[in-house]
Chains A and B, each alone.
Chain A
Amino acid sequence: MDIRLNRVELLRELVPMQGIVERRSTIPVLSHLLLRAIDDRLEVAATDLEVSLTSSCEAEVEEEGAIALQAKKLLEIVRACEGDDVALSLDSETQTVSLAAGKSRFKIRGLPADDFPTLPSLEADGAVEVAFPTFKKMVGKVFFAVSSEESRFQLAGALLEQREGALTLVATDGHRLALVESEVEGLEAADSVLVPRKALQELLRLEDEADLHFRRGEHHLSFTVGRRQLICRVLEGTFPDYERVIARDNDKHVVLPRQSFAAAIQRVSLLTGDRARSIRLNLRDGELELTAANPDLGEAREDLPCEYQGEELSVGLNPDYLKDFLGAVETDTVRLELKDEDSQCVAYPVDGDDRRYLCVIMPIRI
């Protein structure tokens, strides 16, 4: 390998790889990136065996070749160097790369490219095309509800469902459920698949591009964004029948200004109990009272004007779950649909852009 390429462009490819690379892996090569010079480009790849990311950038290639280099160190070096260009040349005897940029010279010991795991590849046809910014927003609207408890592996991801003309993303951690549905033209076949948490997280970090091409293989999924391709394993398991879970008969509706509601929750939840975070929402005509109590520290209360007409109602909820929703939603007002203190709270944006967005939050009873 003997190549020369633009330093900033290389840097742009090295940065998103860092999230994929395992820091503390027992397999040394997984903390490395695979660099492969081919034709007129440098291909870069990272994997943790579950999720992998590949990309490439233009390069003047004198001699083709491949090597695995330690991901973090390479990023640090390329970032710290000066100069517009970086030259990389591999001594395949010693598996050492000489890196030259500006006036700096580095020799970096690598691992043979053959040691790097073979990455899964997916057929190029049958891709579904979605605007990437739309997709990223969808992920952002449900990501908080993806379970991080490892024992519930079937919930450690989001359900991606396509129907004619619409794409739906659903996530739940058992206490709450978030669902977002967007209109997407050109979708035909109905299909659904579980996308693991880490893949969603890395997709959120990718730079904006116009389109996302999504493909599904037998065991793998691929998301292609520009020249970057993220491939992950399909999460096996059964996702709850979410439509059945969402209450339809919640007849008590309250409309609230999003920002002041979020701020009030933030303040009141400063005095929640040590054992469990819960606040109470007490609804009266035109007024929402938020209360929290901590037996050691004291109590908090805040009144908030709201659009509500109906019976008085009081329900306990985890303030963090409300805050997650209010942080993800974009509209100025939100609507909560409630029934009684034993039933779920369903939160919606008012006049949002999505075809459907909601968050089910299960109550806390005291």
Chain B
Amino acid sequence: MSRIHILDDRLVSQIAAGEVVERPSSVVKELVENALDAGAREIRVELVAGGKRRIVVADDGCGMDADDALLAFDRHATSKIDSIDDLERVATLGFRGEALSSIAAVARVELRTAETAGEGQRVRIEGGRVVTVEPVAHPQGTRLEVASLFFNVPARRKFLKRPQTELRHALAVIQGYALAQPEVRFSLRHDGRMLLETLPVSADQEGLRARIGQIFGAVLARNLIPLEAAVRPGERVAGFVGNRQTGRGRRLFVYVNRRLVRDRALLAIFYRTVRETWKSDAFPALFLFLEVPPEEVDVNVHPQKAEVRFRDPGFAGRVGDALRAALEQARGEEPAPLATPVAPPSMPAAWEGLGERKQPLRDDGGTWRPLPGGEVSEVREGAVAGGDELADGGARSYGRAVEPGPAAGVAPRIAQPNFTPPAPRTVPLSGRSGPPRAFRLLGQYKGSLILLEGPDGLYLIDQHVAHERLLYERLRRAFADESTPSQSLIEPQILELGPAEALRLSELAPALEPCGFALRPLSGGAVALAALPADLALDAAERLLQRLATAEEAIENDPGALRRQLLDDFAASQSCRAAVKMHHPLTMDEMQALISELFRAEQPYACPHGRPVVLQMTDVELERRFGRR
């Protein structure tokens, strides 16, 4: 008997179904997309046991006639495209024609549909086999009931999570569409309880804001700054970014032609813009709605339509500009670290950060304060001897800050009559005095940086960041074996969250209890906070919970891991507050103590927030600067 055989059709369908249907929320997604493509103004979703037992999606869209009602379940049956050319112009949400047939292959499905109220069709399919087809009275629109998902695929069924978790995924899907379609009324019932209900609003900016408020509460809606963009005809860049108060909650929603996408390139633009404009990693809420002509965007990259490709490479830049403008507006006042009004806090690139540099260096040409005693001339690009491997911006900034070397054009102060450029020496700075010496403390710069002579160069240490790092490590060690005291509240504080977020927090509640939080879920996306860690201010506790509720990545449901994560967070914020500030003169002894402890630290190179602690200027670099190489 031959080993290789052709799979029967049903098995093929079941396997294909696995690509489309992963869990109840994927069914919800496909059905809601179909409803939207059918022009529905109202979509009602009902779930039982997180959708594992039953999923019902009913709409008031255009409905189907008797033939279509049957054909809809065939593989690759779709009303949305006819030819490959149509793929270029996909404007509907679904198009592959896989959804219904896949769902029907792995569940018991009942379809009721009518093009005009009254004369409808009822089709029942079990595991891909049509069981009944009969006329039925039905209002205009389509109602699909999907029961016993994966009843014939035990392997898949086993991988489904608890009803609460599945419900959360389904909620996230519906919430996603509700945001993109403000004119459509959405409702979700779970086990008979209404979890989400959004009234239709207009599709303009204010309508969007109202819809966001319906889902996430009025507080968030108030703290949003609208995006405005100069775009090409046919394009639209709209939406909101949150202000500072919304920071640290991962509420990031990006839509392309009303399709929720998780496009990494677009998110990367957002992250980068936040880091550049806010100089922080506290990412605010983002609701980004992009519209481009269908032929300008490829949505066929990913079966779950999670990625998109834009034909016009400049489009991403225009999105970035819109984000930057809104974020600038949201930023408000922030003191620069060294508090000098004229000089930006950036360091010349020549100072190689031992830690990771978070922000790319911008060429803030001309903002360096000229040294007293004369003009500083421009350094021509590439004029610095041996500076070819340096970043251009860095080379120029450096040249301005420390006076250009002789090779770099002549500054008036240096160009005195008796001045002759030093002849290149062969004696290097490094290795002149035999074996490398250990670190030697030189002093403090502007009460803010500690200067250190090292065996291979000059080191600058940011005293605040260094101290912060040490305190952080000390606190973390201390917390490792201390229990968390929990302060009860006189009256529970009500947290306003989106339904999916509230659900997630309720799931985490048992794990949060040993960390000092007492949480009780309420109806309508609210959670009551009855007790909180005694060391947290209520504001901070709320922010922290919000972040947990909206975190994208899976959070450890294990109390120990969660506790460590929270403690780390706390240690990071606490150590920042207690650390010595900039512009705080230190004695040599204090600096010595700080540095010797820093050398013993687990991670001496970056602060808990990721900023570098130490910058190094190597001897080689110095020699180059002084024209000795």
Contact = CB atoms under 8 A, between A and B. Distances in A.
Interface string A274-308: 11111000000000000000011000000000000
Contacts of A342: 488
Interface string B465-487: 00000000001001101111111
Nearest to A174: B489
Given A175-B487, A364-B487, A276 B534 contact: yes
A276 B489 contact: no
Contact of A275 (B482, B491, B531): B482
A161 B452 CA distance: 64
Interface string A320-347: 0000000000000000000000101000
B482 A175 contact: no
B490 A365 contact: no
A170 to B, nearest CB: 11
A362 B538 CA distance: 14
B535 interface: yes
B246 to A, nearest CB: 13
B491 A295 contact: no
A152 B570 CA distance: 22
Contacts of A274: 475, 478
B491 A273 contact: no
B479 to A, nearest CB: 7
Contacts of A189: none
A230 interface: no
A276 B533 CA distance: 8
Contact of A295 (B481, B542, B570): B481
Contact of A149 (B475, B537, B574): B537
B539 interface: yes
B111 to A, nearest CB: 49
Interface in A172-202: 172, 174-177
B539 A362 contact: no
B539 A174 contact: no
A364 B539 CA distance: 18
Contacts of A27: none
Contact of A151 (B481, B490, B538, B570): B538
Q: Which of A172, A273, A276 has the most CB of B within 10 A?
A: A276
A295 B478 contact: yes
Contacts of A276: 485, 487, 533-535
Interface string B518-538: 000000000000010111011
Contact of A278 (B478, B479, B534, B538): B534
A316 interface: yes
Interface residues of A, number: 28
A145 B125 CA distance: 66
B482 A362 contact: no
A177 B491 CA distance: 10
A177 B475 CA distance: 32
B490 A240 contact: yes
Given A276-B485, A278-B485, A172 B490 contact: yes
B205 interface: no
Given A151-B539, A318-B534, A364 B482 contact: no
Contacts of A360: 490
Contact of A174 (B475, B478, B538, B574): B538
Given A149-B538, A151-B538, A362 B485 contact: no
B493 interface: yes
Contacts of A344: 488, 490
Nearest to B491: A240
A240 B483 CA distance: 31
Contact of A245 (B483, B490, B531, B535): B490
A304 B533 CA distance: 29
A366 interface: yes
A363 interface: yes
Q: Which has the most chain A C-beta neighbours within 10 Å: B485, B490, B537?
A: B490
A254 B140 CA distance: 72
Contacts of B533: 276
Interface residues of B, number: 25
Contacts of B484: 275, 366
A362 B530 CA distance: 11
A277 B535 CA distance: 8
Contacts of B487: 175, 276, 318, 362, 364
Contacts of A277: 534
Contacts of B531: 365
Among B487, B488, B533, B542, the most chain A Cβ lie within 10 Å of the Cβ of: B487
Interface string B486-501: 1111110100000000
Given A152-B538, A275-B534, A362 B479 contact: no
B543 to A, nearest CB: 10
Contacts of A174: 489-491, 493, 538
A191 to B, nearest CB: 23
A275 B531 CA distance: 16
Nearest to A295: B482
Contacts of A365: 485-486, 488, 531
Contacts of B482: 273, 275, 295
Nearest to B245: A151
Contacts of A278: 485, 534
A275 B535 contact: yes
Contacts of B489: 174-175, 362
B377 to A, nearest CB: 41
Nearest to B567: A275
Interface string A342-362: 101000000000000000101
A362 B488 CA distance: 5
A362 B529 CA distance: 14
Contacts of A151: 538-539, 542
B473 to A, nearest CB: 13
Find the residue from A172, A295, A360, A365 having the highest chain B CB count within 10 A: A365
Contacts of B488: 342, 344, 362-365
Given A177-B490, A275-B534, A364-B534, A149 B539 contact: yes
B484, B488, B531, B574 interface centre (most CB from chain A within 10 Å): B488
Interface string A151-177: 110000000000000000000101111
A287 B479 CA distance: 32
Given A172-B490, A240-B491, A245-B490, A364 B537 contact: no
Interface in A33-82: none
Interface in B560-581: 570, 574
A151 B496 CA distance: 14
Contacts of B493: 174
Interface in B533-551: 533-535, 537-539, 542
A174 B475 CA distance: 27
B490 A273 contact: no
A189 to B, nearest CB: 27
A87 to B, nearest CB: 43
B602 to A, nearest CB: 18
A318 B484 CA distance: 14
A318 B485 CA distance: 10
A57 to B, nearest CB: 40
Nearest to A365: B486
B80 to A, nearest CB: 48
A106 to B, nearest CB: 33
B486 A364 contact: yes
12 contacts: A151-B539, A174-B493, A176-B490, A273-B482, A275-B479, A295-B481, A295-B482, A344-B488, A362-B487, A362-B489, A364-B485, A366-B483
Given A149-B539, A240-B490, 11 more contacts: A174-B489, A174-B493, A245-B491, A273-B485, A278-B534, A295-B482, A342-B488, A344-B490, A360-B490, A364-B486, A366-B485
Interface of A: 149, 151-152, 172, 174-177, 240, 245, 273-278, 295-296, 316, 318, 342, 344, 360, 362-366
Nearest 7 A/B pairs, CB to CB: A276-B534, A276-B535, A275-B535, A362-B488, A365-B486, A240-B491, A364-B485
